[in-house]
Structure 1
Amino acid sequence: MTARSAKAASPRPARRPSTGRPPRGGRVLGGPRRLYVQAKRAWDRPLTAYYLVLGGSLLLIVLGLVMVYSASQIKALQYGLAPSYFFRKQLLAAVLGGGLMLVAARMPVRLHRMLAYPLLAGSVFLMCLVQVPGIGVAVNGNQNWLNLGGAFQMQPSEFGKLALVLWGADLLARKHDKKLLAQWKHLLVPLIPVAFLLLGLIMLGGDMGTAVILTAVLFGLLWLAGAPTRLFVGVLSVAGVVAALLIKTSANRMSRLACIGATDPGPSDQCWQAVHGIYALASGGFFGSGLGASMEKWGELPEPHTDFIFAIAGEELGLAGTLSVLALFAALGYAGIRVAGRTEDPFVRYAAGGVTTWIMVQAMINIGAVLGLLPIAGVPLPLFSFGGSALLPTMFAVGLLIAFARDEPAARAALAMRQPVFGRKPAGVRWKSMRRRVKKRPSGER
């Protein structure tokens, strides 16, 4: 036998079993791609929206408490109060709001729908009380507060936002089930008249900022309900004309409109607040001057712990801090859109979309005013600014998003497989990981 035939007759060496690892030459190119695939897979997990809503909202609340304490000390001393006065009130509101958020997150959807009509009726009643002399209180020229005794006040229009979201979502869901939303009269009535009632009560007190947010919630509900483009544009045009008339007939609103993009306070200092908000942001740099080291809060910037707390955050935490706040709001908005887009329940879709529209539009109006891109509307930054009346309903609305994110079938299955933190384990079951349960084997078996 020749050497060639012997070589041909010899068996081929066995192929090495695959280990699942990429070849050495492809590790450099496969590394970023593998990370991208893993990140995309993690982003598409069932509990992503749940964690984004819960984590993003809690981080905003905690960071807001820190900034309220830092921004309000000088203002409290100017009023002859303890430096931590506003912080203590905000902390109390956050604790109460945490209870509301937990209750809302644990309530079934059926109970959320049952709250719609009582909450709407209560909000309308309280907003009517605001206009009663001796009961309603005017703050900064707006008659939209109720005195609860002592240092506690309440703004019923903040609860009107939550009432419109729940009631509007329940109304549209009922009509969706009866297949009535294809008719424009069922789409508009009674949603538009009730929304105009709330807007009228708000505008009686002169609070146009809250009215704009309520209008945005109304348009969000109409958009989610599938309103025809011509109907949507028609309602939007009517609202734009009414808003233009309200601005034109008010010297205060016209002066605020003139301060958009201002770099000088003006001869009568009418743009003082807007300009000093820009000064605060500009002096912060990338990492800020340090927590508590703001100069603008020493009497230069009005409302440093409420409407313009974002400017103080920019001065003390810098661009890095403000971008972090924007990223948290972006994560919260994405999670709300994801919850609304993945559900099959029409009420959940409308309510989640309404809450997301409310929080995102209010954040854009507040931040846009601080940046000089929008007129100052006098609305707080959600979950961040001082104000218990704004924090309580907003935290309840966040609890709604958490409940809706938990209610997805895939999310329920994923939560059911998690190891319980409190309580007893099921009998005969030994938890081996977050995802797998292993039956306990008999004694002596291997």
Structure 2
Amino acid sequence: MRNTISNVPAGTIRKHRPVYQVALYVSLLLLLGLVVMYALGPQRANVMNFAYGTNYGDMFFFNKQLISVVISFAAFAACAIIPYKIFTEKYANWLFVGGLFFCFLLVALGMLGVSFAQETNGAYRWFYLGGLGSFQPAELLKFGILVFIAGFLGKRMRQGKINDVEETLIPLGITAAIAMFIVVVLQKDLGTGLALVAIVLSMLVVSGMRSDILWKILGVLLAAGVMLILIAPHRLERVMTFFQGDHSSASSMDSSSNTYHVQQARIAIGSGGILGLGIGKSVQVSGYLPEAINDSIFAIMGETFGFVGLLIILGLFTALLLGILHISARLPDPGLRLVAAGVFGWVASHVILNVAAMTGVAPLTGIPLPLLSYGGTSMLFIAAALGLVFQLSCYTSHKPLTEGKDSHADLSGRRRFGRTRYARGRRV
């Protein structure tokens, strides 16, 4: 007689130790951002006090960043501990709809002239909450679209309908179009739109969708991107600035121009040399480089730590991204595999677009550098997404799985690769 003691089905992945390197890289980046803010905070406070008549103390920006880091690490821990199905199944729809709602509400209130939803730098991006800081609903939308689209595509993968036009491509296109319309057209936030595209495209590539369909989707996105640039003067100006380079001498002297921004970023990176000027010795943060502690933090770090320091920072991001890919490739569940892939696209798009803009390789997009730039909302939701990946790393298999294949088929052929990550019924 056969009796199964374990209640876990044969071939089911058993929870094991997480990939602690993810938590390590996140902690190092957050700590590095704090160190830099401690050094730059007094200079930034002096600039703000002189320019706007504020009365910020030397520790104002550091203290705010410290609070953001603590809250973000708490979000990382929460998403690493709370069962992932709470995010990926139970509340995925609510997170996505909530993100859309608050983004639309921000635009509506901004157009009505409500004081806490004003337009800034040509875009509606933040709810201003007084002493509590600000909230950027587009970051909630990124997290929402991550878990919602991953669940939708994961279900279609299990059904073998990932390439189906009516049941997959049309609903996906409508969902993405609604999100992009609110973010890019109404909010005028192309940077967030690019991040959303990166999240969804990363999931589509990993889903095993046919290459010809992927190329068609990419073509549609490129055409839409060109149209969105042409109809928006501020976006067209950024693109023209990028192609003109240093030839426009008049705009290069205007501190509000994109040319000036890029030139000062290059000066900051170049003046850092090999080893940098040292902590607390930045010149560009003293009012020369726009958004010095936000979008331009990479350039300031180049000035402070030099070329070697930038290589170390990029090395940390590369190690983190490779770790996320490693986890995604070994997750048997299609939906969870897509969550990890989407987080990869999210973080990678921010790093690539920010660094490219600061080095003059791509136009300015207003995207911050993950975990390092000053500000709480972006850091909070990226940390939460990385915490979710950290939890998912507890459910990986030993070897990479075939893209687009059903998880049950993948599992059945891999039971021989040891018992540490597979629970099998024991016979007595």
The worse-fitting range, judged by mean Cα deviation, of 261-270 and 124-133 is: 261-270
Q: Distance in 2 between the 1:77 and 1:265 partners?
A: 31
Read off the aligned partner of 1:388 and give its amino acid letter: G
C-alpha spacing 1:264/1:67, structure 2 compared with 1 (3 Å): farther
TM-score of the aligned structures, taking structure 1 as reference length: 0.78
Q: Which runs of 4+ in 1 moved over 4 A?
A: none
Once the two structures are TM-superposed, the CA of residue 264 in structure 1 deviates from its matched residue by: 6.3
Q: Deviations over 1:151-198 (max 9, x none)?
A: 511110011111111111111122222332242332224222112111
Partner-residue secondary structure (3-state), 1:124: helix
Summarize the alignment of residues 51-62 of structure 1 with structure 2, pairs less than 5 Å apart: 51-62=20-31
CA contact (8 A) 2:103 2:138 kept: yes
Q: CA deviation at 1:130?
A: 0.5
Partner of 1:340: 328
- Counterpart pick for 1:185 among 152, 163, 166: 166
The match for 1:21 is none
For residue 299 of structure 1, give the secondary structure of its aligned residue in structure 2. coil
- The answer to whether the Cα contact below 8 Å between 2:163 and 2:169 also exists between their aligned partners in 1 is no
Report the Cα distance in structure 1 between the residues aligned to 2:320 and 2:25, rounded to whole angstroms: 6
- The yes-or-no answer on 1:90 pairing with 2:65 is yes
Are the counterparts in 2 of residues 64 and 383 from structure 1 also a CA contact under 8 Å? yes
Are the aligned partners of 1:142 and 1:205 in contact in 2 as well (CA < 8 Å)?
yes
**Alpha-carbon contact 1:101-1:395 (below 8 Å) kept:** yes
1:147 — aligned with what?
A: 128
Opposite residue 165 of structure 2, the aligned amino acid is: W
Q: In the alignment, what sits opposite 1:241? A: 223
Could you tell me how far apart the structure 2 residues matched to 1:370 and 1:112 are? Answer: 34
* Contact preservation (8 Å) 1:68, 1:305: yes
In the alignment, which of 328, 344, 348 is matched to residue 356 of structure 1?
A: 344
1:195 maps to 2:176: yes
Match of 1:71 in 2: 40
Q: Deviations over 1:6-45 (max 9, x none)?
A: xxxxxxxxxxxxxxxxxxxxxxxxxxxxxxxxxxxxxxxx
CA distance in 1, matches of 2:181, 2:37: 32
Give the C-alpha shift of residue 97 in structure 1.
1.2
Counterpart residue type for residue 98 of structure 1? F
**Aligned counterpart in structure 1 of residue 189 of structure 2, from 207, 212, 227:** 207
Cross-structure match for 2:310 = 322
Distance (whole Å) between structure 1 residues aligned to residue 182 and residue 300 of structure 2: 33
Pairwise CA distance, 1:388 = 0.5
1:125 & 1:98 partners in 2: Cα distance? 26
What's the counterpart of residue 138 of structure 2?
157
- Larger RCO: 1 or 2 (CA < 8 Å, sep 6+): 2
Deviations 1:357-412 (A, max 9, x none): 1101111000000011000100100111011010110000110111011233669x
Within 2, Cα distance between the matches of 1:71 and 1:230? 49
Q: How far apart are 1:68 and its partner, in Å?
A: 2.5
| Larger displacement relative to structure 2 (229-238 or 344-353) | 229-238
Which is worse superposed, 175-184 or 157-166?
175-184
SS at 1:138 equivalent: coil
TM-score, length-scaled by structure 2 = 0.81
Q: Determine which of 101, 115, 130 is the counterpart of 1:125.
A: 101
Cα contact 2:202–2:344 (8 A) shared by 1: no
> Is residue 288 of structure 1 aligned with residue 303 of structure 2?
no
State whether structure 2 residue 101 is matched by structure 1 residue 138.
no
Q: Deviations along 1:107-133, whole A, 9 cap, x unmatched? A: 223222223111112111111110122
Take 1:109 and 1:233, find their aligned partners in 2: how far apart are those partners?
Answer: 32
Q: Answer whether contact 1:144 1:202 (CA < 8 A) is retained.
A: no
Mapped to 2, the partners of 1:65 and 1:385 lie a distance apart of 10
Alignment RMSD, CA only?
2.0
Tell which structure's C-alpha radius of gyration is larger: 1
Contact kept, 8 Å, 1:76 with 1:85, in 2: the verdict is yes
CA–CA distance in 2 between the matches of 1:209 and 1:193?
Answer: 20
Partner amino acid, structure 1, of 2:219: S
1:170 aligned partner = 151
From the superposition, tell whether residues 265 and 105 of structure 1 become closer, same or farther in structure 2 (CA, over 3 Å). farther
**What is the letter of the counterpart of residue 376 of structure 1?**
L
CA distance in 1, matches of 2:283, 2:230: 35
Do the aligned residues in 1 keep the contact of 2:161 with 2:167 (CA within 8 Å)?
yes
Match status 1:401 vs 2:401: no
1:300 to 269, 284, 288: 288
Counterpart residue type for residue 186 of structure 1: E
How far has the Cα of 1:143 moved from its partner?
A: 1.2
Matched pairs, number: 366
Per the TM alignment, residue 248 of structure 1 is displaced from its structure 2 partner at its CA by 2.1
Give unmatched runs, 5+ long, in structure 1. 1-45, 412-446
Partner of residue 106, structure 1: 81
The answer for the alignment partner of 2:212 in structure 1 is: 230
Contact 2:192 / 2:367 at 8 angstroms: preserved in 1? yes
Q: Deviations over 1:81-102 (max 9, x none)?
A: 1122222111111111111111
2: CA distance between counterparts of 1:232 and 1:409? 27
Q: Secondary structure at the match of 1:268?
A: helix
Correspondence for 1:36: none
Q: Is the 8 A contact 2:142 2:196 kept in 1?
A: yes
* AA at the equivalent of 2:104: C
What amino acid is the match of 1:361? S
